[in-house]
A and B are shown apart, each in its own frame.
Chain A
């Protein structure tokens, strides 16, 4: 993975110093909250329901054991013993004090970490494929470009006061594990007929209040021009986005209002104007970065055998372990969705254990996913049993990847000042209902996503079953949506009808899955059956 050189370290250290100064000035009264708020957001610090919340960047979902141990240290020293892994591959701490924030950032800087631009109207953490470097279907590792763009968009002087936040995702596989078309800019690495590397560029996707699947703005962008093209798109948006209404300021609204063709024309025109700046990073630099992502020294001649005599282990292998491109290796998914539990949360002790496992069994390489789970990307098949035993003992081996109990939920009204309704208790009740019915495995792949408000941090628009919490005359109410997908077959979930109370939504989800079980054909997932039969059979059962 990427390691800082002295330039990177100097920049991050200067940032720590800058925020320490800004915090001191705020506490001393030299700045109002209005002036300070964007500055603290640029360092990932929100003011939430119970305390400040700090969102630490995990660049494109990659970290090592040393960094993971620091995350555990922060949970213990500055928070209340746990952290929350998010739907954008970052980690959040819920009980932070402003007066401690500069010290936390200083601690993070000692292990090449930061909270730069993880909130506010900034270019946020890039997301990428949690299986990068391990999946057989990628044309190459996308992360060198993610790192290149991360650097180029850090403290960008022209684009630090944007109309709204900006999220970029990059993959190098035809199977989309990153939901690229639901981002402001989605990038897929491809090769043209001449064998040259380039990007499919999607612009204008997103969830939130007005979800959109991004159109393909450019089918092939030469890889060397990635940064200048992104600058062109950012500049068109920065100049012409609406600034009158906070709900209309994302780039997806501009693309939609201008129309795909006109937007493309303006970006191409701006790109022509920008190219003479020679802002594109030279290939030598990409090669320098890419050297950090060279494959680890995989052993050869390893056995592909897995001893399945322990039935619990076999269950976990079948569900949570994915195929690795190197013979004798496997990809381990660590579930942060225990039943019962809180989706995405991990205690400091669990964090330390996972750090140890990464170091010992996965070439010191660990990943986070936008489904709020973790990944050990390079585990020898011979080591799977030992890894599973340790995960099991720590409550981290729920064999439910992509199943009905692998529910994504935002922190919701239990933690978040933006929320209208609680989401975690709903996730817990739904899990309990499926366990009671005993049909989790029978239901198969079923992605349930819950958001506690219209900002959609739970990504409910991309759920096979999505749930949106709203405030209905002072009480919590939940809308049911069906048929969303963040994969390469991207689609937005559709609302079924009037909302339900907190018990009603659990019944509604159960009834919905019963319709699927009744109607499904051989080989169909929930999503496939829904797409075949449409929403009417579900509405009949839900609303009679």
Chain B
């Protein structure tokens, strides 16, 4: 599937397009099909996102998984500071990213 991601302009938070808005949680990502660039342009111009781009992702039992490790790190946090990740209490986070 294709999903759309970027950063929040004012805060820099990593955000994911849900189909109707932006979420900080990758599991809420929507499949944008081939509309990703179009949505990116509209949302960027409206300043609801900064620097958006389309990426490949897969959906499995665990949820939505970005294809590239870089975006998995963006989704959760630095692998060397899991205490600062979006899920500090979850011991499996490190494995999910790598």
Are B70 and A49 neighbours in the complex by a CB distance under 8 Å? Answer: yes
Contact of A474 with B9 in the complex, beta carbons under 8 Å: no
A476 sits at the interface (CB 8 A) = yes
A474 neighbours in B (Cβ, 8 Å):
67-69
Interface residues of A in 377-399 (CB under 8 A from B): none
Asked if residues B10 and A99 are in contact (CB atoms below 8 Å), the reply is: yes
Q: A95 — which chain B residues lie within 8 A by C-beta?
A: 12, 84
The reply on A80 being an interface residue by CB < 8 A is: yes
**B67 contacts across to A, CB distance below 8 A:** 474
Q: Which of A10-30 contact B (CB under 8 A)?
A: 26-27, 29
Q: Are A49 and B14 in contact (CB under 8 A)?
A: yes
For the complex, would chain B's binding face be called helix, strand, loop or mixed by DSSP majority?
loop
Given known pairs A27-B47, A49-B70, A413-B69, the reply for A98 and B80 (CB within 8 Å) is no
Question: CA–CA, A94 to B7, complex, Å?
Answer: 14
Q: Assess A50 versus B77: contact at CB under 8 Å? Given A97-B11, A97-B12, A98-B12.
A: yes
User: Are A342 and B80 in touch, CB under 8 angstroms?
Assistant: yes
A100 to chain B, nearest CB (A): 9
Residues in chain A near residue B69, CB distance under 8 A: 413, 474-476
Partner of A425, one of B7, B11, B79: B79
Asked whether A47 lies within 8 Å of B80 as measured between CB atoms, the reply is no
User: With contacts A27-B10, A47-B50, A98-B9 known, is A413 near B77, CB below 8 A?
Assistant: no
Interface residues on B, range: 20 to 34
Candidates B11, B13, B79; contact of A414 at CB < 8 Å:
B79
Report, as a range, how many residues of chain A touch the other chain. 20 to 34
- Decide if B9 touches A27 in the complex (CB within 8 Å): yes
Binary A-proximity of B58-98 (CB < 8 A = 1, otherwise 0): 00000000011110011001111100100000000000000
- Give the distance to chain A from B79, nearest Cβ to Cβ, in Å: 6
Q: Does A320 contact B (CB under 8 A)?
A: no
A428 touches B70 (CB 8 A): no
Closest to B76 in A: A50
A51 an interface residue at 8 Å Cβ cutoff? yes
At the interface, yes or no: A52 with Cβ under 8 Å from chain B? yes
- Chain A residues 417 to 464 lying within 8 A of chain B, measured CB to CB, are 417, 419, 422, 424-425, 428
Binary flags per residue of A22-65, CB closer than 8 Å to B gives 1, else 0: 00001101000100000000000001111110000000000000
Contacts of B47 in A (CB 8 A): 27, 29
Task: Give A475 to B81 CA distance when docked, in angstroms.
Answer: 21
Q: Does B33 contact A (CB under 8 A)?
A: no
B78 touches A98 (CB 8 A): no
Q: A33-B50, A50-B14, A97-B10 are in contact. List 4 more A-B contacts (CB 8 A).
A: A51-B7, A80-B84, A94-B78, A474-B67
List of 10 A-B pairs having minimum Cβ-Cβ separation, nearest first = A51-B12, A414-B78, A52-B12, A99-B10, A97-B11, A424-B80, A49-B74, A414-B80, A414-B79, A98-B10
- The 7 listed contacts between A and B (C-beta, < 8 Å) are A47-B50, A50-B14, A50-B74, A52-B12, A342-B80, A413-B70, A422-B79
